Amino acid sequence: MVAGGLFIYTADLVMPQLVRTATGLSYDAEKHFYGFVVDTTVCIGCGRCVKACREENSVPDTFYRTWVERFRITKHAKVLVDSPQGGEDGFKPDDLERDVEKAYFVPKLCNQCSQPNCVQVCPVGATYQTKDGVVLIDDKYCVGCSYCVQACPYGARYIDHHGKGVADKCTWCYHRLVRGLSPACVLVCPVGARKIGNLEDPASEVSTILREKRVAILKPEIGNEPRAYYLGMDKEVR
Amino acid sequence: MWGGVSSREEGVRVYNSLNDKENRVSHRSHIVRLLTIIGVLVVGFVVVRSLLIPASFGEYGHYRGDNVSEQMALLPLHQGPDLCEQCHQEQYGAWQDGGHLTVTCEVCHGHWEIHNGNLTTMTAVNTSDACLLCHQRITGRPESFSQIAGFVEHLEDQELSAEDADGCVDCHDPHAPL
């Protein structure tokens, strides 16, 4: 048995089929408040997170709910940032290596800010913050005005012009969180560079990291209070 | 404007007749008409508003409360390795002991839903490209992470010839590569 689902064995198949339903979900949003930790010191830029996210959330081509950026700082202090296809197909070796003094990968995703600009600017109440701190978009209520896309300082949002024409973004896989599962990107990360945890629970891995390690947030000067915390983040990263 | 009133007496008579009950102009009908129009507008606004705004709007805040349960109802596609173990104990065991524990099944095999209830759609990326996605030496990877310059270079390092192996899996068990 799996939470919220059941196995049905059919006569001619040895393989169990998991018939999954949304019924019987017991989830108390009051007892959760999520935080995300990205460890830039271990990320290898394989892009499995980007691929898993695309599949899990049916993200249309050319749009990204999460992506991986590579920062290369040359001998002349020039900062080169690239993210080919959001890093989904990995990064290729390049001929710049001789000039590069420092290089690292920075995965990006929605920061689920505590003071979200996007929610404030939405004219129709289509984007909102849940009690457990995740910013969601009501695709039936969004009018696709893209104010939120412009308001987000992190470029986390896009308008799906090929689909419903409404705004969309990373939800930290909210449908998985409420089932006690990790987001798809966290599940597939082969080096544990992405971690999610309940900040209400002081024993959770993320709470422990925030308490004991040195973390940074993106663009703190904007005052959004993002809740994606970066370990080992360099000053060049925006 | 006072045409027909030729004397003071007649003026007083006209004035008094205006104040008679039966001759007085009724102001009440104007007020009633105005209040009726306002009432219809207010009721119309409330009715139209209630039709346009979903019942759950404002349940938790300035948004449609039902959307939270709609989002929760989306079904996860990735399920994690525990579910795979139920049928693939052999591979699961090898993976558990093989030093590649952080790479879960769905990283190479695709998400669970592809395979759900369908034996024929077991997928695997078993080309060397899949290995090199993580293990090729690329600017930006942490030095401590095990990397090779490329498949051919790795063969040379291991003092092997091109005939010895076509791909990584000829030497490395994909479930227990170490």
* Separation CA A136–CA A120 (nearest Å): 13
Which residue does chain A place closest to B136, by CA atoms? A93
Tell whether the torsion through CA atoms of B80, B86, B88 and B90 is positive or negative: positive
> For A155-159, A186-190, B19-23, B58-62, which range has the lowest pLDDT when averaged over its residues?
B19-23
Question: CB of B101 within 8 Å of any CB in chain A?
Answer: no
- What letter would DSSP give residue B53? S
pLDDT of B20 higher than 90: no
Cross-chain Cβ contact A48/B107 below 8 Å: yes
In degrees, rounded to 5, the angle at the alpha carbon of residue A219 between the alpha carbons of residues A216 and A225 is 75
Mean pLDDT, chain B, rounded, equals: 87
What burial class does residue B95 get, using C-beta atoms within 10 Å of its C-beta: 0-12 exposed, 13-18 middle, 19+ buried?
Answer: buried
- Mutation to test the A interface, candidates B56, B62, B63, most A Cβ within 10 Å: B63
Query: CA of B118, closest CA in chain A: separation in Å?
Result: 7
* Residues B111-120, mean pLDDT to the nearest whole number: 82
Report the residue of chain B nearest A95, measured CA to CA. Answer: B139
Token pair 């939800």: residue? A171
State mean pLDDT over B108-126: 80
Task: State the pLDDT at residue B9.
Answer: 85
Cβ-contact B156, B175 below 8 angstroms:
no
Looking up tokens 């839903």, which residue turns up?
B113
Q: What angle do CA A163, A137, B46 make, to 5 degrees?
A: 105
Stated pTM of the model: 0.85
Residue A1: what pLDDT? 36
pLDDT at A23: 60
The backbone torsions φ and ψ at residue A37, rounded to the nearest 5 degrees and listed phi first, read -120, 130
**What pLDDT is recorded for position A68?**
97
Q: How many beta-carbon pairs under 8 angstroms link A with B?
A: 150
Per-residue pLDDT of chain A (238 residues; tens, 9 = 90+): 344 444 443 334 445 566 665 566 788 888 999 999 999 999 999 999 999 999 999 999 999 999 999 999 999 999 999 999 999 999 988 766 678 899 999 999 999 999 999 999 999 999 999 999 999 999 999 999 999 999 999 999 999 988 899 999 999 999 999 999 999 999 999 999 999 999 999 999 999 999 999 999 999 999 999 999 999 999 999 8
Is beta strand A79-82 parallel, antiparallel or unpaired with respect to A17-20? unpaired
Yes or no, beta carbons of B77 and A190 under 8 Å apart: no
- How close does chain B come to A29, measured CA to CA in Å? 11
- Min Cα distance A127 → chain B (Å) is 7
Q: How confident is the model at residue B118 (pLDDT cuts 50, 70, 90)?
A: confident
The pLDDT tens digits of the residues spanning B76-90 come to: 999 999 988 988 999
| Residue B114, min C-alpha distance to chain A (Å) | 10
Residue B10 confidence class, pLDDT cut points 50, 70, 90: confident
Whether B60 has its CB under 8 Å from any CB of chain A: the answer is: yes
Q: Which of A187-191, B10-14, B171-175: highest mean pLDDT? A: A187-191
Predicted pLDDT at A154: 96
Split at pLDDT 50, 70, 90, the class of B24 is low
In the predicted structure, residue B123 carries a pLDDT above the cut 60: yes
Whole-number Å distance between alpha carbons of B53 and A140: 12
DSSP symbols for A147-185:
HHHHH-TT---EE-TTTTS-EE---SSHHHHTTTPPPHH
Contact yes or no for B140 and A129 at CB 8 A: no
Given an 8 Å threshold on Cβ–Cβ distance, is A15 in contact with B60?
A: no
What is the DSSP code (8-state) at residue B75? P
Contacts of B64 in chain A (CB under 8 A): 125, 138, 140-141
For the segment B111-115, the average pLDDT, to the nearest whole number, is 88
Give me the pLDDT at residue B3, please: 58
DSSP per-residue codes, A47-98? -HHHHHHHHHHTPPTT--SSEEEEEEEETT--EEEE-GGGGTT-----TTGG
Minimum distance, in Å, between the CA of residue A202 and any CA atom of chain B: 24
- CA A230, CA A67: separation in Å to the nearest integer? 15
Chosen from B138, B147, B152, B154 to mutate, greatest number of chain A CBs within 10 A:
B138
**Confidence class for position B72, pLDDT limits 50, 70, 90:** very high
Q: What average pLDDT does range B127-140 have in this prediction?
A: 90
**Closest chain B CA to residue A40:** B142
User: Are B87 and A16 in contact (CB < 8 Å)?
Assistant: yes
Name the residue with higher pLDDT: B116 or A234: A234
In this prediction, residue A67 carries a pLDDT of 97
Contact B138 A45 (CB under 8 A): yes
